[in-house]
């Protein structure tokens, strides 16, 4: 059976309660490039080759909890930079999740304004 030859991730949709707060988090805290807003209540940001679509659903309708893992050079340094922003909740400190032949995979989690987990991941070479 043939596969669709998916080359990578193009866009991720995230349901949020407060569009402006979420744009500020993804743009100002994580450093993603803001692209544009679109009616009725959407905003788009760029993360490498992946577009992030934030769609506002006020109240309890914002129940989507995707987990996005962002590739960072150094998890500890990235988390330190994020901690410089007031009100960001850290879910887990940097820790090793896998030891490969030539590297360790490190992971930490923070939360966006709607409580969505945001993964920070890096690989550290080991000699």
Distance between CA atoms of residues 1 and 24, nearest Å: 44
pLDDT of residue 86: 86
> If you average pLDDT over residues 108-112, what whole number do you get?
91
pLDDT of residue 22: 95
Residue pLDDT, tens place only, 15-66: 898 999 999 999 999 999 999 999 889 999 999 989 999 999 876 655 666 7
Contacts of 74 (CB under 8 A, 6+ apart): 122, 124
> What's the whole-number average pLDDT of the chain?
87
Residue 102 pLDDT level (bands cut at 50, 70, 90): very high
Residue 69 pLDDT level (bands cut at 50, 70, 90): confident
Structure-model confidence comparison of residues 85 and 7, the more confident one: 85
- For residue 106, the SS3 value is strand
- Which CATH architecture best describes the domain 11-125? Roll (3.10)
Q: List the domain boundaries for the chain.
A: 11-125
Q: What angle do CA 16, 54, 52 make, to 5 degrees?
A: 135
């Amino acid at each position: 059976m043939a596969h669709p030859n998916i080359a990578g991730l193009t866009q991720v949709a995230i349901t949020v309660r407060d569009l402006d707060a979420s744009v500020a988090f993804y743009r100002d805290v994580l450093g993603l490039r803001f692209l544009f807003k679109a009616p009725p209540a959407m905003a788009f940001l760029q993360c490498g080759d992946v577009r992030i679509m934030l769609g506002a659903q006020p109240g309890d309708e914002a129940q989507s909890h995707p987990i996005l893992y962002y590739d960072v050079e150094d998890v500890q340094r990235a988390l330190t930079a994020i901690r410089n922003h007031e009100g960001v909740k850290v879910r887990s400190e940097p820790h090793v999740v896998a030891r490969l032949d030539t590297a360790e995979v490190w992971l930490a989690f923070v939360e966006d304004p709607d409580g969505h987990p945001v993964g920070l991941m890096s690989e550290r070479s080991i000699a």
